[in-house]
Structure 1
Amino acid sequence: MFLYLPIVMLAALPPTTVAGVIPKFDIARECRSEGGPNVSLERCARDEEQARSQLQSQWTQFVTADRRTCARATTADGSGSYVELLICLELARDAKASR
């Protein structure tokens, strides 16, 4: 029963238009919310920037439905992470490729 809870939660979210545009996330806010020393904040910001750069070059290669689903899942808690979005999209792509 609880297995379907994430699907129900995602379906209840309002639709967003992310088909052609990479979502804009507040990297500083995301990294501050994770806490830790300045070294961790710098590492987080660097990882987020690298993921955003990678998404910019690969965005159109991901399936539109996966982009929407992953963007919703990534922002479900009110924040957003390029690293999480990239991982979600790569997992969705790899799952389709393994079928």
Structure 2
Amino acid sequence: MKAALLVLPLLGQPAMTISDRVPVFNVEALCRDVSADDKASGLSLAQDAGECVRDETIAQQQLSSIWLTVPGPARDSCEGEAAAGGIESYVDLLTCLQMAGWANPTPPPKPPLRGASKMRNAKNELKNELKN
């Protein structure tokens, strides 16, 4: 993703790149869709939409505190990965940055963040297979 310049001449603020802000994802709609898909798929560990939004909000807050400490190319790469396939997840974005070594991992809250992560469903399916 190329960084575009946002100029705010009326406010007397210097130009800044768009990637200098945590991206804005519509997690409410996404979490409703993910929760409905989980339930329709019959997942025994289907996540409630409210829990998903809570997890995504926590991840967004953590991202806000570290975003400017991460180099632009790493932010752009992880943002692209977190938004792949039309699923925009702060949990995935934070996880990508942590795995790349740019975000200090923090102990996850109990229970761990699940949000709308694309990898969550794969993990749940594996757990279900192992139980059977």
Q: Which has the higher strand share?
A: 2
- The answer on 1:76 being equivalent to 2:84 is yes
Gaps of 5+ in 2: 4-17, 40-46, 103-132
Q: How many residues align?
A: 80
Gaps of 5+ in 1: 1-14, 95-99
Instruction: List, as ranges, runs of 4+ consecutive aligned residues in structure 1 with deviation greater than 3 Å.
Output: none
Following the alignment from structure 2 to structure 1, what is the Cα–Cα distance between the partners of residues 94 and 2?
A: 17
Shift of 1:33: 2.3
1:25 alignment partner, SS class: coil
TM-score normalised over the length of structure 2: 0.54
Q: Which has the higher helix share?
A: 1
* Identity, % of aligned positions: 32
TM-score normalised over the length of structure 1: 0.70
Q: Which amino acid aligns with 1:79?
A: I
The one-character-per-residue Cα deviations of 1:32-90 (angstroms, maximum 9, x if unpaired) are 221256x6111101000000011111101112111000001111212300000000011
What corresponds to 2:125 in structure 1?
Answer: none
Q: Which amino acid aligns with 2:27?
A: I
- The answer on 1:22 being equivalent to 2:22 is yes
Indicate the structure (1 or 2) with the bigger Cα radius of gyration. 2
Instruction: Work out whether residues 48 and 82 of structure 1, in 8 Å CA contact, stay in contact via their aligned partners in 2.
Output: yes
